[in-house]
Amino acid sequence: MAYKSTSLIPGIYKITNLISGKCYVGSARNTAGRIATHKYNLKNNKHFNSHLQAAWNKYGEQSFTFEVILHCTPEYFPVTEDFCINMFRPFVYNQRSVANVTDRKKPSAETRLKMSIAQRKRAKDSPETLLKKSQAQKGRVPVEAIKKAAELKRGKPGKNKGRRHSPEHIASLKQAWKKRLPVSEETKAKLSVAGKKDWEKRKQLLTV
């Protein structure tokens, strides 16, 4: 639910917890309406900010103040809100160190294309990079810890170990296996080629 105000006064507002001293800084084209919306959501326990909502539930409405600390037009929101965030440092309730303002300038199509290309290149690692990552991951767990875990696991029967199925159940499994979709010779050939290619890639990584 959003409240509307007849006096649309844009600016930067602050919600302060008088008990802990923590605060929340935000910007709005209609500061009175935005503050009213914050109060409504907090009172009804459905505020988007979980930290602020938890503090409200713990300390109560009387422990919070709502105030407009700076009046400015929307085009100055990014600069002024960043300035207020750096000054009041509300990094618990705000959950980010810069202003989250929708009026920020969007990147151009050329910039977005460059970002997309860079992301694709980053996603495709070379075999050498994959090997280095694998070696680094192996070194994280001590060998002793792996041996101990293996020793503890030995001797413990699995969930289905030693379990025998009834003849009826075995017969139903055989029937289901016979009814499975047949695989064509063409599909078998494709699976074989894909498996060989995968094995060749693994051999290359092992011989690097």
pLDDT tens digits for range 1-25: 443 444 578 999 999 999 999 999 9
For residue range 111-161, list pLDDT tens digits in order: 667 666 666 655 566 667 766 766 666 655 566 666 777 776 665 555 555
Is position 82 within any domain? Answer: yes
How many other C-beta atoms lie within 10 A of the C-beta of residue 37? 17
Is position 110 within any domain? Answer: no
Looking at the DSSP bridge assignments, the partners of residue 28 are 11
Answer whether 208's CB lies under 8 Å from 128's CB.
yes
Read off the pLDDT of each residue in 90-106 and give the average, rounded to a whole number.
Answer: 63
* Predicted local distance difference test score (pLDDT) of residue 6: 42
82: containing domain: 11-88
Residue 82's CATH number: 3.40.1440.10
Highest mean pLDDT among 36-45, 96-105, 152-161: 36-45
Lowest mean pLDDT among 9-18, 73-82, 85-94, 141-150: 141-150
Residue 63: pLDDT band (50, 70, 90) is very high
Residue 169: pLDDT band (50, 70, 90) is confident
Is position 65 within any domain? Answer: yes
Lowest mean pLDDT among 56-70, 140-154, 161-175: 140-154
Is position 176 within any domain? Answer: no
* Predicted local distance difference test score (pLDDT) of residue 114: 67
Is position 28 within any domain? Answer: yes
Residue 75: DSSP 8-state: G
Read off the pLDDT of each residue in 49-66 and give the average, rounded to a whole number.
Answer: 94
Answer whether 78's CB lies under 8 Å from 101's CB.
yes
How many other C-beta atoms lie within 10 A of the C-beta of residue 69? 16
Read off the pLDDT of each residue in 41-57 and give the average, rounded to a whole number.
Answer: 93
Residue 182 has pLDDT above 70, yes or no: no
Kindly give the residue spans of alpha helices, DSSP state H, lying in 60-102.
77-88
Q: CA torsion, points 105, 51, 33, 68, in degrees to nearest 10?
A: -80
Is position 63 within any domain? Answer: yes
* Predicted local distance difference test score (pLDDT) of residue 43: 95
Question: What domain count does the chain have?
Answer: 1
Is position 149 within any domain? Answer: no
**What whole-number percentage of the chain has pLDDT above 90?**
27
How many other C-beta atoms lie within 10 A of the C-beta of residue 27? 25
Is position 96 within any domain? Answer: no
**What whole-number percentage of the chain has pLDDT above 70?**
58
Residue 185 has pLDDT above 90, yes or no: no
Lowest mean pLDDT among 102-111, 118-127, 181-190: 102-111
Answer whether 91's CB lies under 8 Å from 97's CB.
yes
Looking at the DSSP bridge assignments, the partners of residue 16 are 23, 65
Residue 55 has pLDDT above 80, yes or no: yes
